[in-house]
Structure 1
């Protein structure tokens, strides 16, 4: 099924911000979210990351008023979700893509949602085209694949042309083309000034999509800031070096205080950037065949900073059900 490319511009009032302060949620003796405070700014894609059981889905449900916090507060544009007038025109959300009446067509599913918030019916066909479901608009949603349901859920989130968008695992079930499309769509929405808050376990995708991150573990805030800073804080940069004068170059690098590891005729250098290494090689008279900076990945940074906050490890037996 076709996707529109590039994503069409979605018009509307732009702006919006999410603010959580001391957000706490208990389920009996289980503390799912623990004194969590963060803010999500407009105009950027903010990734919401954490291990399984970290409290991400619970937090998103509290933002949308589906669960009441035990303590603390969370607001959208300074208001609780329940107090928003025609909320779908302010906030669009995808939490569970499979939520739909199996006997309704895709178009009728969106039509009744639109009617509930006084959204013009023409908007239904606009979002169906936007997500690539026009050709199956009259088919019953009960026969949809997971990927098609995901796109129908995205259409529901976009229906009110909202200022604020929350997506929980939006690429589940999508093929590579669909993943690329939703990434570009989220970035385009943020570029218009909208607030885009997205939870995902696909760290490689988040590294390409999100400019900012909110990272939690065991319900607590671990990090809030830019994706770039998160990676730089948790990983070290190195430079891959190949040269026919490897021994001379290694000795010169070591004298300058660089950390040098050698493996199969290649040096991995830490503590010195590629410019400094190139200048030192020139001064040493060493020919360079390769000088490749290597930056840490979001996955490496995530594992480094959230390792102690993982609720369930492979090999655990009899673990309790997860609260995401």
Structure 2
């Protein structure tokens, strides 16, 4: 796979430029531009109806853009001679003939892209399906189908990997496995682009994010920056002199909440609060900055881009 400083590494990237897709009167993707670099896991986030699946289909040449373009290593997908050697994708895990065995399903895919037959058993072992390789896919659970779909994506040992909801149907062990797999693939220098609704999982998996809403780009950058820029700074404080601390915070007109014998102060740095408590003779047992969650940041940033809002229940 042409990696390493002295092995002719290819900086395999996905680049969308002013990408738009219209279905009748519906503009699913609207002038979308972004770049996904190699060597990192990039999460693709957005509310339902944001245009994520449509964008992924355009990357893979399954849908044609109404305008704009998307390239992989500077080429359209249709220009790739043996596409599985460059791009591997999991979009719909259930896309497999129910009467075919897992091994035969992968063999005909390998043959279509001139891939060595031995690679089939290698990826079956990699995804943990060797023991059921001869069984019909129609009897597979959703989690097993997900693993088979991931095996299909890895079959050509590609530089670029696209995963749409890869953890669907996986148990906790399977979720941990796919997370570690994506990290390993990125560390090898591959481009890993993954869409998921499980924000807690994306917080542990993705180093970078592309966030869209109503087909438009909302954010592109690191996950850490997305969270820190969108969520309010806060510091949790524990003290045996809670009443005195609250009086000091009120006097300084600082915003805080109280729960479980501690206070969380918003809009101040830990060092400044520590100095304040010291100056007032207040003993502190805990002074810890609190990092906002990816879920909090996502809800705050994409709130206005949600297509369908749940109606609030009227009060009884």
TM category (shorter chain) comes to over 0.9
How many residues matched?
306
Q: CA RMSD in A?
A: 1.6
Specify which of 288, 293, 296 is matched with residue 292 of structure 2.
296
The Cα offsets for residues 191-217 of structure 1, whole Å up to 9 and x where unpaired, read as 111100000000000000000000001
Question: Is 1:142 equivalent to 2:138 in the alignment?
Answer: yes
Question: Is 1:30 equivalent to 2:26 in the alignment?
Answer: yes
The Cα offsets for residues 106-162 of structure 1, whole Å up to 9 and x where unpaired, read as 001001111111111111101000000000000011111110000000000000000
1:319 paired residue number: none
User: How far apart in 1 are the matches of 2:87 and 2:180?
Assistant: 20
Specify which of 13, 16, 23 is matched with residue 17 of structure 1.
13
Deviation at 1:44, TM superposition (A): 0.4
Q: Which moved more, 1:271-280 or 1:200-209?
A: 271-280
1:114 paired residue number: 110
Question: Is 1:99 equivalent to 2:98 in the alignment?
Answer: no
2:197 paired residue number: 201
Question: 1:1-324 alignment to 2 at 5 Å?
Answer: 13=3, 15-253=11-249, 258-263=254-259, 265-315=261-311
Deviation at 1:239, TM superposition (A): 1.2
Deviation at 1:251, TM superposition (A): 4.0
Q: Which runs of 5+ in 1 are unaligned?
A: 1-10, 317-324
Q: Which runs of 5+ in 2 are unaligned?
A: 4-8
Deviation at 1:253, TM superposition (A): 4.2
User: How far apart in 1 are the matches of 2:2 and 2:112?
Assistant: 19
Asked if structure 2 preserves the Cα contact closer than 8 Å seen for 1:12 and 1:161, the reply is no
Q: Which has the higher contact order (CA 8 A, sep 6+)?
A: 1
User: How far apart in 1 are the matches of 2:278 and 2:145?
Assistant: 58
Deviation at 1:250, TM superposition (A): 3.2
The Cα offsets for residues 229-259 of structure 1, whole Å up to 9 and x where unpaired, read as 1111111121121212223333444555643
Q: Specify the SS of the correspondent of 1:58.
A: helix
2:6 paired residue number: none
